[in-house]
């Protein structure tokens, strides 16, 4: 890469967060070094092929052609970067505890190559204190020169794949740093391509705000999910209730029930908050209960399908839409996985269908087999819903999008 008038930015992780960020920064004049561990992904990106719905191939190709983007697996190249941004996964483990191993490996990999004066930004969602308690000590340990010349900041990602209303540029950006120089530098960077940059007092505030955003959603989704059995017994359409309440122009926000919660934020971020709270001896019962309610939805959904279709043991059941939201192929934390596991544990043979998804764990794909029932988890365009209805298959609709259709029951 040649020198840039704005500078060079190394973005570690070229997934749903890192690649859109790379394109946005490149479009404003930064030269981007997209670092990723996947050799296959690097080859694909450098050939101009995007694996992210929000980044079109022609956008990537233009960035490459202009000399403002290149993908690499060589961490040594970070020594040329003025800014290094961490955009790696931060999942939870099987016990629901934060798994920061990807972030730790990324920090250890970049630390020896950071040049003097470089700005390090963490966009990876994590618990309050991640920059000070995890990132800075790791950099100090694995960088020979120490950290006195480096700048550290936080700007938690707010990516919503497939959202056509709010983009990376138009979504307000929260930022902060460990000192005044770090704050000024991170503000200047994001202002170069974001319409609104909000400086908060500390990295901990920014980190906590990200967790609160999605914990708010988790708790409110759990509230409406918890009302489902009551509404069913009362003979009330809960979605109609929610829409009716939503007519109030203040003090209320609509959330809808479903088969569970999915994606990279809602099922995960509240657990980071819970872990940090428990580590400090603080109880968060609303957050813990919300996670339990939403985690129980797949079992409730399967029982509703059994009550509706009355399939025999061993029957094939179709699960329709296995990405976590319509319009994307992202299956991270999709509730469809737990729905299928629940079906299997109850003696049925689950099959999946989703036009945007190439494979889904080890489950068998639906290919016009004769099924005894179906569950619509995510309403993707191109699902075989009409064919199933024409074949007399009863469908439990967890999305509220098939209302008024024969053989379809709303969750």
Active site residues: 265
| Structure letter (DSSP) for residue 98 | B
Distance, in Å, from the CA atom of 345 to the CA atom of 323, rounded to the nearest integer, reads 21
Nearest Cα to Cα of residue 182 among 199, 197, 198: 199
Strand partners, 353: 320
The dihedral sign for the CA sequence 364, 365, 366, 369: negative
Specify whether the backbone of 201 is left (phi greater than 0), alpha (psi in -120 to 50) or beta. alpha
Residue 79 CB partners (closer than 8 Å, separation 6+): 113, 114, 115
Which token pair is 121? 């930004």
Is 282 in a helix, a strand, or coil? coil
Please report which helix (H) or strand (E) contains residue 217, including its range. Answer: helix 203-226
Distance, in Å, from the CA atom of 83 to the CA atom of 185, rounded to the nearest integer, reads 9
Residue 45 CB partners (closer than 8 Å, separation 6+): 14, 19, 34, 36, 51, 60, 71
Distance, in Å, from the CA atom of 75 to the CA atom of 226, rounded to the nearest integer, reads 48
Nearest Cα to Cα of residue 333 among 54, 89, 18: 89
Which token pair is 134? 């995890």
- How many other CB atoms are found less than 10 A from the CB of residue 24? 19
Distance, in Å, from the CA atom of 164 to the CA atom of 399, rounded to the nearest integer, reads 20
Please report which helix (H) or strand (E) contains residue 396, including its range. Answer: strand 395-397
- Strand 173-177 and strand 349-353: the pairing is unpaired
DSSP-H helix ranges across 236-334: 238-245, 269-279, 285-295, 297-309
């Amino acid at each position: 890469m040649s020198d840039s008038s704005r500078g060079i930015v190394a973005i570690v992780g070229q997934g749903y967060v890192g690649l859109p960020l790379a394109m946005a920064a490149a479009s404003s004049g930064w030269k981007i070094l997209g670092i990723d561990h996947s050799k296959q992904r690097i080859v694909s990106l450098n050939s101009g092929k995007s694996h992210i719905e929000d980044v079109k191939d022609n956008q990537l190709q233009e960035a490459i052609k202009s000399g403002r983007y290149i993908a690499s697996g060589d961490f040594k190249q970070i020594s040329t970067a003025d800014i290094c941004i961490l955009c790696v996964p931060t999942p939870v483990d099987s016990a629901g505890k934060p798994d920061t191993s990807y972030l730790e490996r990324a920090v250890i990999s970049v630390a020896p190559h950071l040049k003097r004066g470089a700005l390090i930004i963490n966009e990876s969602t994590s618990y309050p204190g991640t920059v000070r308690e995890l990132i800075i000590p790791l950099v100090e340990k694995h960088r020979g020169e120490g950290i006195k010349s480096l700048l550290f900041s936080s700007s938690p990602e707010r990516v919503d794949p497939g959202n056509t209303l709010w983009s990376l540029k138009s979504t307000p950006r929260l930022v902060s740093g460990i000192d005044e120089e770090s704050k000024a530098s991170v503000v200047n960077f994001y202002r170069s391509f974001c319409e609104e940059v909000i400086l908060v007092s500390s990295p901990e505030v920014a980190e906590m705000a990200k967790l609160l955003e999605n914990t708010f959603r988790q708790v409110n989704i759990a509230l409406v999910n918890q009302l489902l059995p009551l509404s069913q017994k009362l003979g009330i359409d809960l979605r109609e209730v929610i829409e009716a309440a939503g007519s109030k122009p203040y003090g209320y926000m609509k959330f809808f029930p479903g088969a569970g919660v999915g994606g990279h934020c809602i099922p995960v971020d509240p657990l980071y908050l819970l872990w940090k709270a428990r580590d400090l001896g603080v109880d968060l019962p609303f957050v813990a209960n919300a996670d339990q309610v939403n985690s129980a939805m797949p079992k409730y959904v399967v029982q509703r399908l059994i009550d509706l279709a009355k399939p025999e043991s061993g029957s094939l059941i179709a699960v329709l839409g296995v990405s976590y939201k319509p319009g994307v192929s992202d299956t991270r934390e999709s509730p469809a996985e737990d729905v299928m596991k629940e079906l299997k544990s109850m003696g049925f043979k689950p099959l999946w269908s989703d036009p945007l998804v190439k494979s889904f764990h080890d489950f068998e794909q639906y290919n016009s087999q004769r099924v005894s029932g179906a569950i619509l988890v995510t309403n993707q365009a191109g699902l075989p819903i009409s064919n199933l209805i024409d074949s007399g298959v009863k469908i439990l609709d967890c999305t509220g999008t098939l209302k008024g259709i024969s053989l379809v029951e709303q969750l």
